[in-house]
Amino acid sequence: MRAIILTHLERESPGRVVTLAKRRDMAVEIRRVDLGDPVPDHLESDQMLVVMGGPMGVADIGDIRYPFLAREATLLRRCLSVRAPVLGICLGAQLLAHAAGAKVYRNMRLGSDGSPIPAPEVGFGKVRFLDVDREPVLQGLRQEETVLHWHGDTFDLPREATRLASSDLCLNQAFRIDDHAFGLQFHPEVDADMVQRWAVEDASFVEAARGPGAVASLREEADDAVARMQGPCDRLLSNILAQLSSAIGHQSE
């Protein structure tokens, strides 16, 4: 079994995804598509696809700076059509939703005057998992868990998808399409060092979302917050990888 992992920025590495995939004796192939590594046309029968996050978005498809986005969307549509195993995280989840026909757009909330304003979701916060007793990939999780949010866009639930998680700011935090494609808007893959780096290198995004001083407060809470979330997030990723492993080799033609 081989996991093909597409990444879009050096700091947004696959993190814990690699560790947990290797525990399942998966070979891992990381492709930096932003540096010119090729997006595959299709998956082989022994492969699964993981699409990671990045600062670009579905709205950037067609932008000459990001030629890989259109190729990824095409690959994801093909994966869905043949039931090939896929996991999308953050941008990857948005691309998966887009490939499944759902709208992807800027996350908004109502301001004090009742008009809509951008509502990026950044930092540690809760997600509410749905049907934890019945959904196989949610086994072992509590109804609420702490995760890391780092996004400005959101998406509608694809028509054929099942919602798995929500938060106060975003209705669709996680979804599945049958048992072969999963999208996670939040970031279960991070460790504390990754959060520290993101906070510094993406400081303008953090402070635009959370206000002055947000970078320092996020860095201060990172170690403890990641320690709390890593067990549940590892469990979620392990459950998804197990499900996708069972789907490998069962693609339709």
The pLDDT value recorded for residue 253 is: 60
* Interacting residues of 82 by C-beta distance below 8 A, sequence separation 6+: 42, 251, 252, 253
Task: For the domain covering 2-247, report its CATH number.
Answer: 3.40.50.880
Which neighbouring-strand residues pair with 237? none
Q: How many Å separate Cα 137 from the centre of its chain?
A: 15
d(CA 146, CA 133): 19
pLDDT digits (tens, 9 = 90+) for 5-38: 999 999 999 999 999 999 999 999 999 999 999 9
| Predicted confidence (pLDDT) at residue 252 exceeds the cutoff of 80 | no
Single out the residue of 94, 60, 56 nearest to residue 76, CA to CA: 94
Q: Which residue, chain included where needed, has tokens 């540690």? A: 124
Q: How many CA atoms lie within 13 A of 150 on its CB side?
A: 29
d(CA 100, CA 176): 11
pLDDT digits (tens, 9 = 90+) for 28-85: 999 999 999 999 999 999 999 999 999 999 999 999 999 999 999 999 999 999 999 9
Q: What is the mean pLDDT of residues 228-246?
A: 98
Q: How many Å separate Cα 45 from the centre of its chain?
A: 23
Global pTM value: 0.97
| Cα torsion angle, 217, 219, 224, 230, sign | positive
Tokens encoding 142: 């509590």
pLDDT digits (tens, 9 = 90+) for 178-220: 999 999 999 999 999 999 999 999 999 999 999 999 999 999 9
Other CB atoms closer than 10 Å to residue 74's CB: what's the count?
Answer: 14
Map out the domains of the chain as residue ranges: 2-247
